[in-house]
Amino acid sequence: MNWITTLFLIALFSSLIIEVWLNIKHQRHIGKHRIKVPEEFSEVVTLDAHQKAADYSRTKLQLGRLGLFYDTAIILFMTLGGGFQDIYTLWLNSGLEPIWRDVLFLMSTLWVLSLLHLPFSIISTFKIEAEFGFNKTTPAKFISDLIKQWALMVALGVPLIWVVLSIMNNYIDQVWWLYTWVFWMGFQFLLMWAYPKWIAPIFNKFSPLEDEEMNQRITQLLERTGFESNGIFVMDGSSRSGHGNAYFTGMGKNKRIVFFDTLLEKLSPEEVEAVLAHELGHFKHGHIRQRLIESSIMTLAGLALLGWLIQLPEFYTGLGMISETPAAALLLFMTAVPALFFFMGPLSALKSRKHEFEADAFAAQHVGAEHLISALLKMYRDNASTLTPDPSYSAYHDSHPPAKIRIDHLKTLLKTPDLSLGEHK
């Protein structure tokens, strides 16, 4: 056992211990506050709805806790247990050219990993989501989606991996990681541009928003905020789930605004406008751009780190691989090395919560805090989101502020006329 193995095991089990402790703590905290609706939510959320949210959250936490142990066992089996090496050995005897052998090794390994996690997806969809009235997916649609995901993985993954491995093989003694980063970023931007029009419709139907009043409100909001889009669409989210949401996607002139049909059914026009204003707030504050820049920097740093690790024999042997190839290094880096950086999750969540407060303030300024408050209360209720999260768990995991803190922040904006305009500017 070399220093890579030691570091990997310390990080993996430290992460597991912290995650299990937070999971149990969160579950107990929710259970403790299950008997009474927090006073600030009592006018909108009934006791039955509050208890449903508590039970829903606790059930998901139980499955998540089991998943933590399962994921740890899988990664240990595949690395130190020799699972990755066994799969690679099978491809060594295939007689294929090295580049195609390595491409198929990576693709098949990723497919095996997706299969191993499939039972949890099935339990989540057809047991937990169904038990609490959210699942609308049929077994046939679930299988169809799975096949589409695998087909998309092949269509995008094979050429992507082929190019990356070609760069690594041809420039292994140079700054291959820099060339790979340039290609990867170009691929990412292309994917962002293509996703709304070419990829998302593979899984869902998108129809132009037909509600005239809603269209007018949204058009006026876009004009006030200086946002341009390539259309306002309604997604058939109800075909798979009872949860509701809204988002904008794409880049450049290919940006789209998308509402789940389930959201439009439950919120008033003013509330829908407030939800969209919040999403536009992320754009106007540059949050999307910041995340892209940070992601690109982290990707570059990660590839540079891999450029160093790939030269160390102990990197392969320490993580259960005998074959010292670029494909093996890439797989180990994608699956094992992230365990070393588990501590970065809470830092990312902290920044994300700050962005949510800024987006809320933007929505309050352009639509009115009272409309966003009422929209959030309904979404917490209808999506069965817990109103009483454990503070430690929330600080470690949640990308959005807890319900009470977020609503209290919006109420302070109500007291500031310049930040909460009951009427449009």
Question: 113-150, pLDDT tens digit by residue?
Answer: 999 999 999 999 999 999 999 999 999 999 999 999 99
Evaluate whether residue 161 is within a structural domain: yes
* Predicted local confidence at residue 172, as pLDDT: 86
Q: 165 pLDDT exceeds 70? A: yes
* Predicted local confidence at residue 133, as pLDDT: 95
Evaluate whether residue 363 is within a structural domain: no
Q: What is 297-321 written as a DSSP string?
A: HHHHHHHHHHHHHTT-HHHHHTTT-
Mean pLDDT, the chain, whole residue set: 92
pLDDT band at 417 (very low <50, low <70, confident <90, very high): low
Alpha-carbon torsion 17, 19, 20, 24, what sign? positive
Q: What is the pLDDT of residues 209-246, one digit of tens each?
A: 888 888 888 889 988 888 878 788 999 999 999 898 88
Q: Are 395 and 346 in contact (CB under 8 A)?
A: yes
Among residues 249, 307, 310, which one has the least CA distance to residue 283?
Answer: 249
Buried b / exposed e along 249-272 (16+ C-beta atoms within 10 A): bbbeebbbbbbbebbbebbeeebb
pLDDT band at 26 (very low <50, low <70, confident <90, very high): very high
DSSP state at residue 82: S
Q: Average the pLDDT over 236-260 and give the result.
A: 85
Q: Average the pLDDT over 361-385 and give the result.
A: 94
Q: 205 pLDDT exceeds 60? A: yes
Q: What is the pLDDT of residues 302-324, one digit of tens each?
A: 999 999 999 999 999 999 999 99
Evaluate whether residue 416 is within a structural domain: no
Chain centre distance of CA 186? 21
Q: How many domains does the chain have?
A: 1
* Predicted local confidence at residue 90, as pLDDT: 93
Residue 247 φ then ψ, to 5°: -160, 165
Residue 331 to residue 3: CA distance in whole angstroms: 19
Task: Kindly report the pTM of this predicted structure.
Answer: 0.91
Q: 48 pLDDT exceeds 70? A: yes
pLDDT band at 422 (very low <50, low <70, confident <90, very high): very low
* Predicted local confidence at residue 94, as pLDDT: 86
* Predicted local confidence at residue 228, as pLDDT: 79
Q: 294 pLDDT exceeds 50? A: yes
And the tokens for 298? 């982290």
Evaluate whether residue 140 is within a structural domain: yes
Q: 373 pLDDT exceeds 80? A: yes
Evaluate whether residue 196 is within a structural domain: no
Evaluate whether residue 119 is within a structural domain: yes
Q: Which of 132-141, 161-170, 301-310, 414-423 has the lowest mean pLDDT?
A: 414-423
Evaluate whether residue 260 is within a structural domain: no
And the tokens for 189? 């931007």
Domain with 133, as residue range(s), is 3-177+290-346
pLDDT band at 421 (very low <50, low <70, confident <90, very high): very low
* Predicted local confidence at residue 341, as pLDDT: 85
What Cα–Cα distance (Å) separates residue 275 from each residue in 227, 260, 313, 364? 15, 12, 52, 10
Evaluate whether residue 83 is within a structural domain: yes
Residue 196 to residue 186: CA distance in whole angstroms: 17
Which carries the bigger pLDDT value, residue 251 or residue 209? 209
Which carries the bigger pLDDT value, residue 164 or residue 40? 164
